[in-house]
Chains A and B, each alone.
Chain A
Amino acid sequence: MRHIKTAGELFVALLKQLVKGPPLYYAWMAGLAVVVAIGGWAYSIQLTEGFAVTNMTDHVPWGAYIANFTYVVGLIDAAVMLIIPALLFDRQHLTRLIYLGMYLALAAVVMALLFIVVDIGHPERAWHLLPAFAGGWLTIPHSMLAWDVLALNGWAVINFALVAVFFWVRFQGHEIHIRRWQGYLLAAAAWAVVLHVITSFLYVWLSARPFWHSAAHAPRFLSSAFVAGPSFFVLSLWAIRRYAGVDVRFEAIETLRKIIAMAMTVNLFLLLAEVFTELFSTSVHGESMEYLFFGLHGHTLLVPYMWTALALNLSAFVIFVTPKFGRQMPLLLLACAMAVVGVWIEKGMGMVIPGFIPGPLGQIVEYEPSKIEIAVSAGVWAFGLGVYTALVKVGVPIAEGRLVSKSAQTAEESS
């Protein structure tokens, strides 16, 4: 009974914290709401008119939605890159930021699930994805997509549970003992890594698509996620420090910079290895890579994007690996922004689309997202950013002990 009362109290406290804020907060959330509304309207058009309003075809059956999905799954790994150094390498200044990483991961998994929902032709049949005993027919073990559904939803549950328990414990005024939590957190980190590997295996096993059928694919997925996730996190930390008043130490940022620098080195090396393997030989297997970087038979739609991504990634790399540059906050933020965008192009459209070009029967049909797809994708992103903002808005005071139950307050006052 006491727990139900406290839960009610927590719920009310969260709502109150969510609705009050400075004008900038309202403006930001209202702006996101507008983008979400436009995305929802675009999605309603897609629902009624069918996928003909997208630019996907039988030749390129996956487009912007799956590209974004792949990218946002990588953002979950921002949490991994806090948990592992903090707990295994005892970086205590990062330990204090793990909860923020978990908020970002929760927002990312919400986006990932939404990108899947908007991509399927019959979302109302999603219950077919339940396990067989529950009336659906999830095809574990043979379908990689079924494994991904399991891994993704599993992560959503784990992530939500950890955040909920964190809220619950802190709201009652109890301390977080990291020794008690570290087992769960490390298990969660392992789950997130496996989730990302399974997401890459979605593509890798498809021998019909030589561009994806490469063992370097999975490590590239992880290394690019370890670039994009922490970069996105550092960018958001800047805003969190400024607007939510969280004390972020220089050492924390510096550790993240080193992590990103290492991950980026590996990522660029793997990219180089793949480009070399595909392009130095004259085999037709290299045609997709040729299409991506140089164009194929006069089809060059992706070429400017890919070179832009490469330029952004290389510039960011120089800043990350050079301490003199990387320790200047404005330059570091610029590098993070470049890495976020660079990886988004490289790992999103730059990874998904060339898999379909040329097609299995030699056709070259290019793809760029339609206005509807752009609007829906922007809507999902805005929703995810809204979730992240909301979690930070309520979750920072909770973490810092400023938002506690009445009994905890009186206990503290009396002591």
Chain B
Amino acid sequence: MLKTLRRRLNVIGEGTAPAAPEASDQGPETPALAEAMGRAQLTRRTFLERSAVTAGVTAAATASGCGGPAWEEYFQQHYKRLSDEDKQVIFARLEANVKARHGVDVTINDPQPIEGVEFGYALNVSTCTGCRQCEYACAEENNTSRDPEMHYIRVLELDRTFNVMDAVHDYDGQVPRDGKFYMPVQCHHCENAPCVTACPVNATWREDDGIVVVDYDWCIGCRYCETACPYDARRFNFSEPNISPADINPNQGYLSNRLRKAGVVEKCHFCLHRVREGLNPACLEACPVGARKFGNLLDPDSELRRILENGRIYIFKEEQGTLPRFFYYFD
């Protein structure tokens, strides 16, 4: 992974890659989020309680000499139907499975939507340099498969007519190039999400804070959501995702970056396990030019609201009527 990242950095060249953004140390961006941090702490307590269960399950798995209780996995219910006790058992089992398979200690978290928070994202097309650092930071954060390589974010290179149908997807070399715009596209977390409408089993839905999530243990892999999405935001695991133990991010969310299996669909979830804890998404942290702004749409004092209310906004495929929570803007 480091190798690919270094390759990317070389591509960008020293001149165009400013120092790492300070955003990473900033913590919560808005007062509402800061307040919510208190709630987020609650989930940490359940962690500690669960570690006892984890130990139990690990011991059981070792004793029985098999990969885990396949029967329970098979009949596992939909996320929304799980009680807190069910979740503890399931999370512990998933953690034990990762330990058994990859030898890595991970914790599976389940932060809940925060009341009074609806997340939104704005991206400055005027400043984006097309360096693809967001794309690679996303993969690192979210444990996406490295072989075959999967990315949630696609960065398009557009000329000044801004016609997406003529976009260049596989541009290479020194960026930004003269006369070009760069437009990263990821899940727009639509209010009227066609993917959610399409899903025949409710394996994907919009949470109260606007994040469209996937229950990887409920998805049947029909790929109808992929067909329905106007933003090409969804990815299917055509084969077993591969990621080396050293690259596994151990801080995992059940509805976000926990390890997936072959045959299920996944996509950007606004780094749910981070943003509900008051952090920014990994793609924002990685952006060397500050082109990405994340925040609470319901907070009138947020920087996001200021941009949306005063900036020059472009809503991608607005005619689709999907009401995205992802906006592009120009200086």
Of the residues B165, B197, B239, contact of A142 by C-beta under 8 Å: B197
The contact sample of 30 A-B pairs, CB cut-off 8 A, is A50-B240, A51-B236, A51-B262, A58-B226, A58-B234, A120-B221, A121-B220, A121-B221, A121-B236, A121-B263, A122-B219, A122-B220, A125-B218, A125-B220, A128-B218, A135-B77, A137-B218, A139-B202, A142-B197, A144-B198, A149-B200, A207-B321, A208-B229, A208-B320, A284-B165, A360-B231, A360-B317, A361-B154, A361-B164, A363-B169
When each residue 99-112 of chain B gets 1 if its CB lies under 8 Å from chain A and 0 otherwise, what string results? 00000000000000
Question: Is A77 interfacial (CB 8 A cutoff)?
Answer: no
- CB pair B185 A361 closer than 8 Å: yes
Question: Is B167 interfacial (CB 8 A cutoff)?
Answer: yes
Q: How far is the CA of A268 from the CA of B235 in the complex (A)?
A: 37
Which of B200, B263, B317 counts the most chain A CB atoms within 10 A?
B200
Q: A51-B239, A137-B202, A361-B154 are in contact. Are A287 and B165 (CB under 8 A)?
A: yes
- CB pair A119 B320 closer than 8 Å: no
When each residue 15-57 of chain A gets 1 if its CB lies under 8 Å from chain B and 0 otherwise, what string results? 0000000000000000000000000000000000111101011
Question: Is B201 interfacial (CB 8 A cutoff)?
Answer: yes
Chain B residues, Cβ within 8 Å of A58: 226, 232, 234-236
Query: In this complex, what residue of A is CB-closest to B222?
Result: A120
Chain B residues, Cβ within 8 Å of A57: 238
- CB pair A129 B229 closer than 8 Å: no
Chain B residues, Cβ within 8 Å of A359: 232
Q: How far is the CA of A358 from the CA of B166 in the complex (A)?
A: 10
A37 to chain B, nearest CB (A): 24
Q: How far is the CA of A206 from the CA of B237 in the complex (A)?
A: 23
A147 to chain B, nearest CB (A): 9
Question: Is B78 interfacial (CB 8 A cutoff)?
Answer: yes
Q: How far is the CA of A126 from the CA of B238 in the complex (A)?
A: 18
Query: In this complex, what residue of B is CB-closest to A130?
Result: B201
Given A119-B222, A120-B220, A123-B220; 10 other pairs, CB 8 A cutoff: A57-B238, A58-B226, A58-B232, A122-B219, A128-B218, A206-B194, A207-B230, A207-B320, A359-B232, A361-B154
A72 to chain B, nearest CB (A): 17
Chain A residues, Cβ within 8 Å of B272: none
Query: In this complex, what residue of B is CB-closest to A206?
Result: B228
Question: Is B39 interfacial (CB 8 A cutoff)?
Answer: no
Q: A50-B263, A206-B227, A207-B230 are in contact. Are A362 and B218 (CB under 8 A)?
A: no
Chain B residues numbered 276-331 whose CB sits less than 8 Å from any CB in chain A: 317, 320-321
Chain B residues, Cβ within 8 Å of A126: 220
Q: A50-B263, A120-B220, A207-B230 are in contact. Are A128 and B203 (CB under 8 A)?
A: yes
Of the residues B166, B240, B264, contact of A122 by C-beta under 8 Å: B264
**Chain A binding surface SS class:** loop
Chain A residues, Cβ within 8 Å of B169: 361-363
Q: How far is the CA of A56 from the CA of B226 in the complex (A)?
A: 12
When each residue 106-150 of chain A gets 1 if its CB lies under 8 Å from chain B and 0 otherwise, what string results? 000000000000011111111011000001111100111110010
Which of B166, B201, B235 counts the most chain A CB atoms within 10 A?
B201
Question: Is A323 interfacial (CB 8 A cutoff)?
Answer: no
Count B interface residues, CB 8 Å: 48
Q: How far is the CA of A413 from the CA of B314 in the complex (A)?
A: 85
Of the residues B154, B223, B239, B265, contact of A50 by C-beta under 8 Å: B239
Chain B residues, Cβ within 8 Å of A138: 200-201
- CB pair A121 B165 closer than 8 Å: no
Query: In this complex, what residue of A is CB-closest to B78?
Result: A137
Please classify how large the interface on chain A is, using the bins under 10, 10 to 19, 20 to 34, 35 or more: 35 or more
Question: Is A160 interfacial (CB 8 A cutoff)?
Answer: no
Chain A residues, Cβ within 8 Å of B27: none
Chain B residues, Cβ within 8 Å of A355: 227
B152 to chain A, nearest CB (A): 11
Of the residues A137, A360, A361, contact of B201 by C-beta under 8 Å: A137
- CB pair A145 B200 closer than 8 Å: yes
- CB pair B220 A139 closer than 8 Å: no
Query: In this complex, what residue of B is CB-closest to A150?
Result: B200
When each residue 183-219 of chain B gets 1 if its CB lies under 8 Å from chain A and 0 otherwise, what string results? 0010000000010011111110000000000000011
Which of B77, B218, B230, B263 counts the most chain A CB atoms within 10 A?
B263
Across chains A and B, which 7 residue pairs bring their CB atoms closest together, nearest first?
A121-B221, A121-B263, A208-B230, A50-B239, A52-B239, A362-B165, A61-B223
Q: How far is the CA of A333 from the CA of B154 in the complex (A)?
A: 51
Q: How far is the CA of A52 from the CA of B232 in the complex (A)?
A: 19
Q: How far is the CA of A80 from the CA of B91 in the complex (A)?
A: 51
Q: How far is the CA of A52 from the CA of B194 in the complex (A)?
A: 26
A374 to chain B, nearest CB (A): 18
Chain A residues numbered 54-91 whose CB sits less than 8 Å from any CB in chain B: 54, 56-59, 61-62
Query: In this complex, what residue of A is CB-closest to B201?
Result: A128
Of the residues B165, B224, B239, contact of A358 by C-beta under 8 Å: B165
Q: How far is the CA of A119 from the CA of B240 in the complex (A)?
A: 17
Which of B74, B78, B166, B224 counts the most chain A CB atoms within 10 A?
B224
- CB pair A121 B219 closer than 8 Å: yes
Chain A residues, Cβ within 8 Å of B238: 50-52, 54, 56-57
Question: Is B245 interfacial (CB 8 A cutoff)?
Answer: no
Of the residues A122, A125, A209, A358, contact of B227 by C-beta under 8 Å: A209
Q: How far is the CA of A226 from the CA of B265 in the complex (A)?
A: 36
A213 to chain B, nearest CB (A): 10
Question: Is B57 interfacial (CB 8 A cutoff)?
Answer: no
Question: Is B116 interfacial (CB 8 A cutoff)?
Answer: no
Q: How far is the CA of A59 from the CA of B170 in the complex (A)?
A: 14
Which of A120, A124, A135, A355 counts the most chain B CB atoms within 10 A?
A120
Q: A51-B238, A61-B236 are in contact. Are A145 and B224 (CB under 8 A)?
A: yes
Query: In this complex, what residue of A is CB-closest to B195?
Result: A208
B145 to chain A, nearest CB (A): 11
Chain A residues, Cβ within 8 Å of B197: 142-143
Chain A residues, Cβ within 8 Å of B230: 207-208, 360
B220 to chain A, nearest CB (A): 5
- CB pair A49 B320 closer than 8 Å: no
- CB pair A362 B220 closer than 8 Å: no
A340 to chain B, nearest CB (A): 27
Question: Is B125 interfacial (CB 8 A cutoff)?
Answer: no
- CB pair B220 A143 closer than 8 Å: no
